[in-house]
Amino acid sequence: MAKLSVIYYSATGHNTAMAQRVAAAAEAAGADVRLRHVAETRDPASFAKNPAWTANYEATKDLPAATGDDIVWADAVIFGSPTRFGSPSSQLRTFIDSLGGLWAQGKLADKVYAGFTSSQTAHGGQESTLLSLYITLMHFGGILVPPGYTDPIKFDDGNPYGVSHITGPDNKTAPTEDTLAALDHLARRVVMVADRLTAAGSG
């Protein structure tokens, strides 16, 4: 049984929903899953006038927050982040930047990694966010497992780099059925590859 950590940051809840879907699909595929949010670094007062951000913060603030141990424990990690100016959010970057000690010890290497993201518009930096994340994971010595076009759903959701969701100009659009199916495929693919690598390592 592969061990998978789903580590995500979410402001207004879209990435929370995506992370929960990934975790459920991975568990259905037989993985032992840890679902962990990245702790908010902004003062809640700074987004008090944003109801969705406040609601997601209140709903997740007391849940287990991601730590480096969640990566060390895992055979595979799927990261999630909204797009911020074409890159992962500062909150996720802060978490990743805290992992230097584990990186120096080689404890982030030889694991399977993939990612998902969201933005308000179709060309709002989704691909560059995932590619930026993957550059960091290359520095980890990670094994990148993007979905590519390994399932027909990828011709519908259109993202071979990971999975991305368009939240709409009002930031209220929930993940579509295509997006949910693409998240399921990503989770299954990562678990499948992690299972094979784990089995090979123990053989």
Q: For the chain, which domains are there?
A: 3-201 (3.40.50.360)
* Residues pairing with 112 in the sheet: 76, 143
- pLDDT of the chain along its 203 residues, tens only? 899 999 999 999 999 999 999 999 999 999 999 999 999 999 999 999 999 999 999 999 999 999 999 999 999 999 999 999 999 999 999 999 999 999 999 999 999 999 999 999 988 999 999 999 999 999 999 999 999 999 999 999 999 999 999 999 888 999 999 999 999 999 999 999 999 999 987 65
Which residue type sits at 76?
Answer: A
Q: Are 80 and 8 in contact (CB under 8 A)?
A: yes
DSSP annotation of 65 reads B
Q: Which of 160, 166, 165, 164 is nearest to 189 (CA)?
A: 160
Tell the burial category of 20 from Cβ atoms under 10 Å away from its Cβ (0-12, 13-18, 19+). middle
Q: Are 85 and 122 in contact (CB under 8 A)?
A: no
DSSP annotation of 184 reads H
Rounded Cα gap, residues 3 and 10, in angstroms: 22
